[in-house]
Amino acid sequence: MINSEEFGFKIAVIGDGAVGKTSLIKKFTKGTFKRDYIKTIGAQFSRFNRVINEDVIDLIFWDIAGQDDFNFLHPLFYKESKACIIVCSLEESEIGKDSFIHIKEWHNELKKYCVNIPVVLFANKVDLVEENDLDIDKIQNIANEHNFFGYYLTSAKTGQGVIDAFNAIINELYYKFKALSSV
């Protein structure tokens, strides 16, 4: 008989407002997408369970509001996070361009409160751009510059890349903590 274990991971999901953080979480956890934008107030929490090798992984995604009004709450929201997802938008608009520029600021803020946790970049709204016109090197360079675990092109609307992106960070946490628990 295999001895199963239970793991709990808090994952902070950060980035500018309107980049699709909430939509990505809902697409992954519920398989749904709503077109209407509803601003997150403070933070929202989503629970999701997954089983890997008969071990139960209890995930809590902390969807942190991207608007400056809620910056004072960020230290509380980051506390005890085991990983972080930074979301930017690929859309050719002010929101998209600013969100890419702000990746560095989000990462710097995260590092103040969370040391040495895996960070992954979700470049969202890939459905709104021509993939052939994307500057993948620019995305890869920022991921490399900040030692992110990786980056993924995602679309909360179509689901492109969403499952792979979330599973990559979940698997990273699981195998890291599984190895630690067997020492």
For the chain, give every domain's residue range: 6-181
Q: In whole angstroms, what is the distance from residue 26 CA to residue 2 CA?
A: 32
Neighbours of 166 (CB within 10 A): 25
Confidence (pTM): 0.93
Residue 65 pLDDT greater than 80, yes or no: no
Domain covering 6-181 assigned CATH 3.40.50.300 in the classification: yes
Provide the token pair at 131. Answer: 């993939």
Confidence of residue 43 (pLDDT cuts 50, 70, 90): low
In our burial notation (b when 16+ CB lie closer than 10 A, e otherwise), range 49-82 reads eeeeeebebebbbbbbbbeeebeeebeebbeebb
Residue 41, judged by CB atoms within 10 A of its CB (0-12, 13-18, 19+), counts as: exposed
77, 64 Cβ separation under 8 angstroms: yes
Confidence of residue 34 (pLDDT cuts 50, 70, 90): confident
